[in-house]
Amino acid sequence: MRYNSITEAIGNTPLVRLDPAVHGLRNIDLYAKLELLNPFGSVKDRAAWNMVRAGLPGARERGETIVELSSGNTAKALAVIAGLHGLTFKSVTNRMRVPEIKDLLLLLGAEIEELPGQTECLDPTDTEDPLTRFHQELTRPGATHFHTDQYFNALNTEAHAAGTGPEIVADLDGRAPDWFVACVGTAGSSTGVARVLREYDPAVRVVGLVAQKSDFVPGIRNVDEVHEVGLFDPATYDTIEPVSSDEAIDGMLTLVRRCGILAGPTGGAAYFGALRHLRPLDAELTERRTAVFIVCDRVESYLGYVRQRRPELLGLPPVKNSVATLTDSEIRAATVIDTADAQKWIAVQRPLVIDLRSPFAYAALHIAGSVNIVDELFDELLRGGLPFSKRQPVLLACPVGEKSALYAALLTRMGHPDVRSLAGGIIAWRDAGAPLVRD
């Protein structure tokens, strides 16, 4: 294989059949589409290249900087492509959560601008979100940036409708699989592939996977955020199912240990989600069927992610006092308090109010007298045991009341007698017209 440019090596990734002795499906051939073998390491190489290729000459003439709202694979691919064409790249994000990727972006020469924001990805409906304001600024006529706009750019979806989807069909001898399973980030890959597969066979079942509520699987959205993406159309999916970070790591472990596929957590999530969906159907089948899932990227960037969640896999002591170990009944038993009751409780009992949001969100507006301990830091603090006296009542607040409920359940398990979670979080507090202060 001889190429004139590394970008010619994007796409045409292998479709590999997994050993039934490993996955256990008797009537379904399960295939992995190895997007991790793209030259810059992920499924996003296709979208990044397709979004910029036509605009590169003009961008170079005008000396524009390529800009994208991404803290992960899209940024990585764009940084490489920008360097390849003598351009600069700037990644704008509200939360760089995977340190290895941040380091890699810096190594690639990218500029990183970390902005305050309420969600991991852009929420176009929230005009107060700084990321939204930034997005509006970039798309203003006369802006000197080349904004690739992955959450809204049809060229993102097109990259997969022109490449990933047809490649799967070609490798299955001109047929669509019976099931297609993919994690949903911008929704570009799942939407583009699903569109092509349905042209070949309208009966193909499309399973979209998202991260479980209040959980984090890098690169994909969670159940609450998925509807906020411009490219997302619920009609693309026959079902949208959540996968936890633990399940993603379990799937990843099987792929790396038993299948020879060095997948990252979303590849693991897709494998786990595919098997969970297919196992009950497999038992009923009388003829052979085919399923394909996407392996988006590689494991190496996520060792820190694994170390934080499953340190025992890296020979370290297991995590103590983790929300990941809470049972459903422990979570349900957490004490939740609404804004009106919380205001009364604060006035009478003076609980320690801990705001688990980002420092930016806290600085913008918070409950008077509250202290800000961002959730990741709070998580670390709790590993060492209760960080405050049992005599001190505690009110936990987060954006929408989900994370705080988990930590309330954990503190209760750790023996704290009076910890409560603010129902609906700071958003419900604000919507109820309760007072907030600004630094």
Ligand X SMILES: Cc1ncc(COP(=O)(O)O)c(C=O)c1O
- What residues line the site for ligand X (CB under 6 A)? 42-44, 72-74, 183-190, 219-220, 264, 266, 296-297
Q: Which pairing describes strands 145-147 and 111-114: parallel, antiparallel, or unpaired?
A: unpaired
Q: Residue 249 in contact with residue 268, Cβ under 8 Å?
A: yes
Measured from the Cβ of residue 42, the count of other Cβ atoms closer than 10 Å reads 27
Name the residue nearer to ligand X (CB basis): 72 or 163: 72
Name the residue nearer to ligand X (CB basis): 187 or 422: 187
Residue holding tokens 């589409």? 33
**CB 345, min distance to ligand X, A:** 41
Q: Residue 298 in contact with residue 234, Cβ under 8 Å?
A: no
**CB 208, min distance to ligand X, A:** 9
Q: Residue 71 in contact with residue 95, Cβ under 8 Å?
A: yes
Residue whose CB is nearest to ligand X in the complex, by number: 219
Interacting residues of 185 by C-beta distance below 8 A, sequence separation 6+? 121, 219, 220, 221, 266
Name the residue nearer to ligand X (CB basis): 185 or 425: 185
What is the Cα–Cα distance from 275 to 286, expressed in whole angstroms?
A: 18
**CB 70, min distance to ligand X, A:** 7
Phi, psi of 286 (to 5 degrees): -115, -10
Name the residue nearer to ligand X (CB basis): 128 or 300: 300
The Cα angle at residue 126 between residues 122 and 127, in degrees rounded to 5: 110
**CB 17, min distance to ligand X, A:** 22
Name the residue nearer to ligand X (CB basis): 157 or 339: 157
Q: Which helix (H) or strand (E) holds 31?
A: strand 28-34
The token pair that represents 247 in the structure block: 């399940």
Name the residue nearer to ligand X (CB basis): 72 or 424: 72
Name the residue nearer to ligand X (CB basis): 43 or 410: 43
**CB 187, min distance to ligand X, A:** 5
**CB 434, min distance to ligand X, A:** 36
AA letter at 87: L
**CB 262, min distance to ligand X, A:** 13
What is the Cα–Cα distance from 20 to 38, expressed in whole angstroms?
A: 26
**CB 160, min distance to ligand X, A:** 7
What is the Cα–Cα distance from 324 to 241, expressed in whole angstroms?
A: 19
Q: Residue 190 in contact with residue 238, Cβ under 8 Å?
A: no
Name the residue nearer to ligand X (CB basis): 222 or 372: 222
What is the Cα–Cα distance from 162 to 342, expressed in whole angstroms?
A: 54
The sheet with strand 145-147 has its strands ordered as: 111-114, 88-93, 65-68, 145-147
